[in-house]
Amino acid sequence: MSPRMRLNFWKMNGAGNDFVLADNRQQNLCLTPEQVARLCHRQRGIGADGLILWVPCRSGRADWAWQFWNSDGSVAEMCGNGARCFARFVQRHTGAQGAITFETLAGVITARFRGEQVTIGLTAPQGLQLHQALETSVGKVVCHSVNTGVPHAVIFVPDADRARVSELGPQIRHHAAYAPKGTNVNFVQTLGPGSIRVRTYERGVEGETLACGTGVTASALIAARLHHFSSPIQVRVQGGDVLEVGFREENGQFTDVTLTGPADFVFEGTIEL
């Protein structure tokens, strides 16, 4: 029997959205979707919403690159909270103090550091659609949608505590309107001018997470459009943290979109694959 590979890893979280990170700059690690799912499993593995590998950037477009998987082993184009964690992970290992860039499937992301807070510059949002009525088990639900690196549906609710996340989340995530890949689903409560609360059902996790960075961003941008909020917008997530979304809006287009929030180290360890 061949010896099992040992993986040195770090566990991090961004506003409660948690990740396993590992250094694969030497390119000697090749994970299968099944291995990713096992590592992210909360009872049989380390436990995480996603897994991130640090790899070289072969295109020359950025300083570094990542490989990112959801907890079910599926590949994701982008993750806002994961991006902040990845940036601090790189900073800890390289000592970087200024901005760093890294390539994702959604494009090149820029990260800047402010103590334990990280600000990431996101790729330009795409495909904004407003006021789409979808049939669900509770009747028609008005959804808005935008792609902030990954697709997001946004539903405004009067009380986030009473939002039917577990019931409506899967229905809208798999709705024919978002076929074939589906969407993430955000339930948004307006707290006041420039302030919202968001709960997110995440595609690939297939459940509610304590935070979703791209979902926070999508929710803030749609709130800005519908409620005329100016930048920045404060967003309280299910884990209790407050993230900040900045942007510029010119001629009906959002540009210079940023997401600021915490990125914390939890522990490090070694596990056999």
Are 155 and 228 in a shared domain? yes
Are 249 and 267 in a shared domain? no
- Which residues are 153's β-sheet partners? 145, 185
Are 249 and 152 in a shared domain? yes
DSSP state of 108: E
What domain count does the chain have?
A: 2
Are 155 and 234 in a shared domain? yes
Are 139 and 18 in a shared domain? no
Residue type, 184: N
Phi, psi of 75 (to 5 degrees): -80, 140
Q: Report how far residue 10's alpha carbon sits from residue 82's, in angstroms, rounded to the nearest whole number.
A: 13
Q: Would you state the structure tokens that stand for residue 263, as one six-digit string?
A: 């990125």
Residue 108: what pLDDT?
97
The residue whose two tokens read 């997110």 is: 200
Are 131 and 252 in a shared domain? yes
Residue 235 lies in a domain: yes
Are 40 and 105 in a shared domain? yes
170 upstream amide cis, omega within 30 of 0: no
> pTM above the 0.85 mark?
yes
Residue 1: what pLDDT?
44
Q: What is the mean pLDDT of each run of 10 residues along the chain (273 residues)?
A: 80 97 96 97 97 97 98 96 98 94 97 93 96 96 97 98 97 97 98 98 97 98 97 97 97 95 97 93
Q: What angle do CA 8, 94, 38 make, to 5 degrees?
A: 25
Are 101 and 175 in a shared domain? no
Q: Report the catalytic residues.
A: 79, 212
Report the Cα–Cα distance between both ends of the chain, in Å, rounded. Answer: 14
Residue 221 lies in a domain: yes
Q: Report how far residue 65's alpha carbon sits from residue 55's, in angstroms, rounded to the nearest whole number.
A: 5
Residue 3: what pLDDT?
65
Decide if 199 contacts 216 (C-beta within 8 A): no
Are 39 and 76 in a shared domain? yes
CATH number for the domain harbouring residue 19: 3.10.310.10
Are 157 and 114 in a shared domain? no
Candidates 218, 216, 217, 246; CA nearest to 232 is 246
Alpha helices (runs of H) in the chain, residue ranges in sequence order: 33-40, 80-94, 165-173, 213-227
Q: How many CB atoms lie within 10 A of CB 113?
A: 18
Q: Which domain holds residue 43?
A: 6-122+263-272
Are 103 and 179 in a shared domain? no
The residue whose two tokens read 């309107």 is: 177
Strands 17-23 and 50-55 come out as parallel
Are 89 and 188 in a shared domain? no
